[in-house]
Structure 1
Amino acid sequence: MGDDGDKTEKSASASSTQDDMSDEEEIRIQLGPKMSIREHLEKDKDDESLRRWKQQLLGGLDVADVKDHEEPDVKIVDLTIVAEDRLDMVLEIPEGGNPKSPWFTLKEGCKYHLRFTIKVSNDIVCGLTYTNIVWKTGIKVENWKEMIGTFSPQVEPYVHEMPEDTTPSGIFARGSYHAKTKFVDDDNNCHLELNYTFEIRKDWAS
């Protein structure tokens, strides 16, 4: 949510990325059959060093608690807004994915970034991608798409930091915005969809 120049560049970049991804989707690499976490570990159980390395990737997770052939359970625990000269705003993800309006307020012209806490269980989630579309008075002003990564299940949640952004400034930038955020993996499983509004004001909300 930068200034107008940044928005144009970001939108063009997002469009280019989507076109590239569309082209890539036409070329499908034939992978082997999907294996569960338990099967992966059993496959190399006689190789102690490889077994320990795989166990380390699981972050101390007890494999006995992992069910065979279960889809990955991905939970976005919370969203934190980290901004200059401001205490971190930790926003819990509500059940149903529809926060109360407005969900948060940003100061115009401020630098900030987002931080997600992500819990992964059951199996590896591949190619988790964050998309965010923002509208103001019905006009799309931002279309952001970014690969977050591939995560194995572990006891402790992952913390992912997004790149820094800048809110737009000026009288026309202030007001209410509507946004739709999604977390989707390579298998096109949507693990979270958020529909919410937020505001940009001249100063932080008290």
Structure 2
Amino acid sequence: MSLAVGAASSSKNMGFDGRNDGEEETRVSGSLPPPSPTPTEEALGKGDYSRQMSETSLYATEEEDDDSEIELGPKCSLKEQLEKDKEDESLRRWKEQLLGKVDLDSVGETLEPDVKILNFHILSPGRPELVLPLPEAGNPKGLWFTLKEGSPYSLKFSFKVNNNIVSGLKYTNTVWKTGVKVDSTKEMLGTFSPQAEPYTHEMPEETTPSGMFARGSYSARSKFVDDDNTCYLEINYTFDIRREWAST
């Protein structure tokens, strides 16, 4: 399922939109670029975030991520980052806008960020939100959800960031049908500082495919990974596309 969990709305059929097999879609939303000597509002970026299938044999064993390695500088705690270049007024203002209100007593000297995915919801016009139960450990057992063919839908999720800044957080989703990869999507979410309120993100609206060949069972793998290649959630699941929505 192209549950890519955005920015401008788009509509496509899940994995049947004419892309070559294995071709990956990338969307960028809400990411913050590195500071310039004189930061501007554009340089800081404007995101759309608010503060506030089960059998292993179903999944392909190929590596879906082909990103080249990114050379990152040494890690430092959030306190150290705030202390750096504090004499530079433009950098100080940029950091304040990036970080917002951070309780330094709660972040301490921790180097590693902690990202927790809180929930998944499927939205479809004219229907109540479908809340997907997210297991605390492991993968959903059995069928996770059902979508109606030819229906618009979008995925919404919330996540919490603690301890330190998470850089380059992205969501990837790969879908297979009868062992053949039919869709691969990547959504760059951005860079986020610790805060008390969770971040919420809604993917662009898509449309499920329709017809005899589109109906049936799919397997999928979703991951949340940052620039350090730290994986905060990997979840394997199955879902169906049917003639009608599942009865509630």
Q: Give the TM interval when normalised to the shorter protein.
A: 0.7 to 0.9
Q: Which has the larger strand fraction?
A: 1
Q: How far apart are 1:155 and its partner, in Å?
A: 0.7
Alignment check: 8 A CA contact 1:10 1:142 kept: no
Alignment check: 8 A CA contact 1:120 1:152 kept: yes
AA of the residue aligned to 1:103? W
Q: How far apart are 1:157 and its partner, in Å?
A: 0.5
Correspondence 1:153 to 2:194: yes
AA of the residue aligned to 2:19? E
Deviations 1:150-196 (CA, angstroms, capped at 9, x unpaired): 11111101011212211111122112111111111111111100011
Q: In angstroms, what is the RMSD of aligned CA positions?
A: 2.7
Q: What secondary structure is seen at the aligned counterpart in 1 of 2:150?
A: coil
| Structure 2 unaligned residues grouped into runs of 5+ | 3-12, 28-64
Identity of aligned residues (%): 59
Correspondence 1:110 to 2:181: no
Alignment check: 8 A CA contact 2:115 2:160 kept: yes
AA of the residue aligned to 1:94? P
Q: How far apart are 1:144 and its partner, in Å?
A: 1.1
Alignment check: 8 A CA contact 1:108 1:203 kept: yes
Cα distance in 1 for residues equivalent to 2:95 and 2:15: 47
Q: How far apart are 1:61 and its partner, in Å?
A: 2.9
| Structure 1 unaligned residues grouped into runs of 5+ | none
Q: How far apart are 1:43 and its partner, in Å?
A: 3.1
Q: 5 Å matches for 1:8-157?
A: 8-9=18-19, 11=21, 13-14=23-24, 25=68, 28=70, 32-43=73-84, 54-55=95-96, 57-157=98-198
Cα distance in 2 for residues equivalent to 1:3 and 1:52: 43
Q: How far apart are 1:95 and its partner, in Å?
A: 1.3
Aligned to 2:206: 165
| TM-score, length of structure 1 as denominator length | 0.83
Q: Which has the larger helix fraction?
A: 1
Q: What secondary structure is seen at the aligned counterpart in 2 of 1:25?
A: coil
Alignment check: 8 A CA contact 2:22 2:183 kept: no
How many correspondences in the alignment?
A: 199
Alignment check: 8 A CA contact 2:144 2:237 kept: yes
Cα distance in 2 for residues equivalent to 1:68 and 1:89: 39
Cα distance in 1 for residues equivalent to 2:201 and 2:142: 25
Aligned to 2:238: 197
Aligned to 2:47: none
Cα distance in 1 for residues equivalent to 2:166 and 2:20: 27
Alignment check: 8 A CA contact 1:59 1:156 kept: no
Alignment check: 8 A CA contact 2:22 2:184 kept: no
